[in-house]
Amino acid sequence: MDFELNEDQDLFRRTLRAFVDQEIVPVASEWEREGRHPEEIIEGFRRLGLFGVTIPEEYGGLDLDRVSFALVFEEIARGWMGVAGVLGSHSLASWMIAKYGTDEQRAAYLPDLATGARRTGIALTEPGAGTDLQGIQTRAVREGDEYVIHGTKTWITNARHADPLPVLVKTSAAEPAHKGMSVLLVDADRGFTVSRDLPKLGYKGTETCEVVFDGVRVPASSLLGAAEGRGMQQVLSALELGRVNIAARAVGVSQCAYEAALGYSKERHAFGQPIAEFQAIQLKLADMATDIQAARLLTYWAASRSEAGAVTSEAAMAKYFASEVALRATMESMRIHGGYGYSQEYVVERLYRDAPLMAIGEGTNDVQRMVIARSLLSGTAKVGW
């Protein structure tokens, strides 16, 4: 494993950084407050090809290496974590279609998903089941050449723009829960209803919705990979990529919190000197910097290992650690800003509201700790080389 970015990755990072600094940073706080849909930023994502980061080149995607994939989410989240959500579940769902889809499904969806002409998301969570995905109630019953879907999904990011929306459903009540689940690629014109947008603490700039399937009919060819009963395994492998994405976002948010704190501590004076001269402030900056660099290395380690296959414990470690760092870093940055940190006029207030999502999304951090422990106890993961 290399501890530095290679030349291509570094050039890509610099391109992303320039885009974020020019087109996201100047507008993020104002647009967040206004509740504005960030169409111009989404157009920028299209221009840079970012809707295709997980899509093979033969379908028009960038097919990025995993470290570059993580760089996309780190850099965008440094500017505005909320808009990283536009690309997050889109990238996972696109990856899932590329990996598991039939030739027809790949040809039908991937070219438009790569350009952002179509967007997508992923619908797993329900009002009564999040962590416990085997407890979902959404059912798809086969009738001739169709499936008929009944159920409600909630907290679905990008649902309002998703076409198709991959939906985890139960296709068999007779099988053990994990074997009776499948993913259906539901086109927007099939008539699912986006019933409401969920009001959120942060993570604005991306809609998160409740979606109702009231007898929605889809052709049997919508079954991902034509593989009934494989849905749980398909989504779990996509969630590993999702955890790398969340870890990278957490690093980006933490970096922004640190940079804001460093700058502020040099400008703000108390007792006749910049507050950066106080050792209490210096210790906080040192803790933040060390935490963030450790989170970054863990994230890029998990990302680079994921090139070779499953990274169950690595992705869980990165997601868990980096998101806890984001919680600490945003809080410490707020402390360093004093009263101004609590003001909407300083970026740290938004970072502080955005950080907790990373401890919840793609599996809560307690679940990550259980996943890590299970891998250690079963011997599929170890600590050390």
Ligand X SMILES: Cc1cc2nc3c(=O)[nH]c(=O)nc-3n(C[C@H](O)[C@H](O)[C@H](O)COP(=O)(O)OP(=O)(O)OC[C@H]3O[C@@H](n4cnc5c(N)ncnc54)[C@H](O)[C@@H]3O)c2cc1C
Q: Which residues are tagged catalytic?
A: 362
Count of residues that interact with ligand X, criterion CB under 6 A: 22
Q: Which of 99, 115, 98, 116 is nearest to 107 (CA)?
A: 98
Closest approach, Cβ 111 to ligand X, in A, equals 23
360 binds ligand X (CB under 6 A): yes
* Whole-number Å distance between alpha carbons of 8 and 132: 40
Find the shortest distance in angstroms from Cβ 368 to ligand X.
9
173-201 burial string, b = 16+ CB within 10 Å, else e?
eeeeeebbbbbbbbbbebebebeeeeeee
Nearest to ligand X of 198, 310 (CB atom)? 198
Query: Rounded to whole angstroms, what are the CA distances from 357 to 81, 253, 260, 268, 376?
Result: 10, 11, 20, 30, 26
CB 70 within 8 A of CB 300: yes
Query: Using CA atoms, how far apart are residues 198 and 216, in angstroms rounded to an integer?
Result: 22
Q: Which two tokens stand for residue 175?
A: 């099988």
The beta strand positions in 226-377, using DSSP E, are 269-270, 273-274
Q: Least distance to ligand X from the beta carbon of 64, Å?
A: 21
Asked if 228 and 175 touch (Cβ cutoff 8 Å), the reply is no
Distance CA 133, CA 124 (A): 7
Do the strands 193-197 and 181-186 form a parallel or antiparallel pair, or are they unpaired? unpaired
Residue 357 engages ligand X in binding (rule: CB under 6 A): yes
Q: Which residue is nearest to ligand X (CB)?
A: 130
Part in contact with ligand X (CB under 6 A); list of ranges 71-79, 217-225, 275-283, 364-372: 364-372
Query: Is residue 197 a contact point for ligand X (CB under 6 A)?
Result: no
**Per CB under 6 A, which region of 40-48, 112-120, 283-291, 360-368 contacts ligand X?**
360-368
Q: How far apart are CA 275 and CA 67, in angstroms?
A: 36
Pick between residue 358 and residue 381 the one whose CB is nearest to ligand X: 358
- Retrieve residue 142's tokens: 């086969």
In 10 A of CB 314, how many CB atoms? 24
Cα 64 from chain centre: 16
Residue 275 near ligand X by CB under 6 A: no
Q: Which residue in 79, 82, 121, 180 binds ligand X (CB under 6 A)?
A: 121
Chosen residue from 86, 156, 167, 181 binding ligand X by CB under 6 A: 156
Query: Of residues 46-105, which lie at the interface with ligand X (CB under 6 A)?
Result: 89
* 200 scored as a contact of ligand X (CB under 6 A): yes
Q: Binding ligand X by CB under 6 A: which of 115, 172, 364, 375?
A: 364
Q: How far is the CB of 140 from ligand X (least distance, A)?
A: 16
The region of 13-21, 123-131, 185-193, 346-354 touching ligand X under the rule CB under 6 A is 123-131
> Is residue 217 a contact point for ligand X (CB under 6 A)?
no
**What residues have CB less than 8 Å from 324, skipping those under 6 apart?**
359, 365
114 belongs to the binding site for ligand X (CB under 6 A): no
**Binding status of residue 131 toward ligand X by CB under 6 A:** yes
Is 363 one of the binding residues for ligand X (CB under 6 A)? yes
The reply on whether position 43 binds ligand X by CB under 6 A is: no
Residue 195 in tokens: 């019933």
Chain contacts with ligand X (rule: CB under 6 A): 89, 121-125, 130-132, 155-157, 200, 203, 208, 357, 360-361, 363-364, 366-367
